[in-house]
Amino acid sequence: MPSSYRAIFAAPGTVSFSAAGLLGRMPLAMMGLGVMTMISEITGRYGLAGSLSATMAVSAAVLGPQVSRLVDRHGQRRVLRPTVLVSLVAAAGLVTCAQLRLPDWTLFVFAAAVGCVPSVGAMTRARWAVLYRHAPRELHTAYSFESVVDEICFIFGPIIAVGLSTTWFPAAGPVLAGAFLAVGVWWLTAQRATEPEPHPVEQHSGGSALRSRGLQVLVAAFVATGAIFGSVDVVTVAFAEAEGRKAASSLVLAVYALGSCLAGAVFGLLHLKGEAHRRWLVGVCAMAVSMIPLQLAGNLPVLAVALFVAGLAIAPTMVTTMALVETHVPRSKLTEGMSWTSTGLAVGIALGASTGGWVVDAYGAAAGYTVPGVSGVLAAVVGLSGYRRLRTPAPTREGQGKRDDREQDPEQQHVG
């Protein structure tokens, strides 16, 4: 492991909460795709499968920031465990209704409740932010590592979810995703030493973190970015099925995540001096351009290469986004702010999965790649139009920035 990554794990407890975060995030890459594969296997209806995946994403978008706001106020352990139980019960209900071929509306009811799942990635990033709030280089590396963890989930998650659901039994993917969620969250919340200190209600004046104009731009751009991810997932599964190799879709999607994983690992070793908002805009535009080759892919090998190249722009953009969130959101609302970016992605994934599924049903799998293409253009437009808001940090961090500076010792002030 390179020295930059070894350094961030010198703090006690970092290995344990990172491992727990990895397990807890596996459902991020498994549940939606697993449900989509399960429904398509049982019913053969990609429109229904995409709509259920979209329902879960929208539910997570609505409930996720509220869960994170409660976490900021009351702590991770007190909030995450009961919300995970609700999500697991709902996932069990969804699987049961699908297996029994109950009416479609029952599937949507349980799919909506599954969205109560917390943003485990935001919880682990909040722990890193507390540990290295005075060490920008270490925090950059930690955020890069978290992005790599995200992509590891997206490399292996689709393989596991689609592979099990297509070769074992249709519900295998969602069932295993629920097991990962339960173990990961229970393990994470058992680690109290690294848990961020909750902030009382009186410290949350000023309303939601989303009132930040900079955060609004990031979330809006991530809606379009999420539409890329959601539509690529749905369309790639359909494209592979049209080629007679549906199970291979998980491998193709893993290659997409692999590109992002490698880019994130390298990005974490760099100590860039330029302004973060400029790097972010370049990343968003690069993602948009990378969607063009997908329109020309005529077979799975070519598609895999195109997706690998497209993945190279993802992790660096995500890492830079988290750095910008910390700049534009008060520390007492940091978990909520990070969850809002996940919400933007969730909304986009919902729109992309649903739109991609209906386009595939209506016009065929190859035509479905126009959805991520258009989504990339929209992300670039939002980034360009909102660029000015990201240039100026929030005017106040509720006095915490000045207090933190006074609390730093001279040695910490020279870190990075």
Q: Which two tokens stand for residue 16?
A: 């344990």
Q: Which two tokens stand for residue 235?
A: 């369309």
Q: CA 395 to CA 136: how far, in whole Å?
A: 20
Q: Are 356 and 231 in contact, with CB atoms under 8 Å apart?
A: yes
Of 273-277, 334-338, 355-359, 393-397, least confident by mean pLDDT is 393-397
CATH architecture, domain 14-193+211-393? Up-down Bundle (1.20)
Kindly give the residue spans of alpha helices, DSSP state H, lying in 75-135.
76-99, 104-114, 120-131
User: Looking at residue 263, what is its pLDDT?
Assistant: 87
Beta strands, E only, 199-327 = none
User: Looking at residue 308, what is its pLDDT?
Assistant: 94
* Alpha-carbon distances of 47 from 39, 40, 93, 156, rounded to whole Å: 10, 9, 21, 25
Q: CA 85 to CA 98: how far, in whole Å?
A: 20
* Alpha-carbon distances of 388 from 76, 284, 320, 391, 392, rounded to whole Å: 34, 15, 16, 5, 7
Closest CA to 218 of 277, 264, 275, 261: 277
Classify residue 192 by its DSSP letter.
Answer: -
Residue-wise pLDDT for 44-55, tens only, equals 777 788 788 778
Position with higher pLDDT, 381 vs 272 = 381
Q: Are 37 and 144 in contact, with CB atoms under 8 Å apart?
A: no
Residue-wise pLDDT for 74-133, tens only, equals 888 888 999 999 999 999 999 999 888 898 899 999 998 887 777 888 889 889 888 888
Tell me which amino acid residue 267 is.
F
Instruction: Calculate mean pLDDT across residues 59-77.
Output: 83
pLDDT band for 162, please (50, 70, 90 cuts).
confident
* Percent of the chain scoring above 90 in pLDDT: 22
Q: What is the mean pLDDT of the chain?
A: 82
pLDDT band for 415, please (50, 70, 90 cuts).
very low
Residue-wise pLDDT for 362-403, tens only, equals 888 888 999 999 999 999 999 998 878 877 665 544 444 443
Quote the crossing angle between the two packed helices 213-242 and 300-311, to the nearest 10°: 170
* Alpha-carbon distances of 248 from 97, 183, 245, 285, 312, rounded to whole Å: 27, 28, 5, 29, 21
User: Looking at residue 206, what is its pLDDT?
Assistant: 57
Q: Is the pLDDT of residue 340 over 70?
A: yes
Q: Report the Cα–Cα distance between both ends of the chain, in Å, rounded.
A: 20
Q: CA 159 to CA 239: how far, in whole Å?
A: 16
Residue-wise pLDDT for 296-337, tens only, equals 888 899 999 999 999 999 888 888 888 788 788 777 777 778
Q: Is the pLDDT of residue 177 over 80?
A: yes
Neighbour count for residue 138 (Cβ, 10 Å): 20
Query: What is the number of alpha carbons within 13 Å of residue 202 lying toward its C-beta?
Result: 0
Position with higher pLDDT, 276 vs 279 = 279
Q: CA 317 to CA 386: how far, in whole Å?
A: 16
CB crowding 360-396: b at 16 or more within 10 Å, else e: bbeeebbebbbbbbbbbebbbbbbeebeebbeebbee
Residue 272: phi and psi, rounded to 5, are -80, 140
Q: CA 121 to CA 64: how far, in whole Å?
A: 12
* Alpha-carbon distances of 160 from 40, 70, 133, 226, 401, rounded to whole Å: 16, 32, 36, 21, 44
**Tokens 């507390």 belong to which residue?**
130
Cβ within 8 Å of residue 324, ≥6 positions away? 214, 218, 276, 277, 280, 390
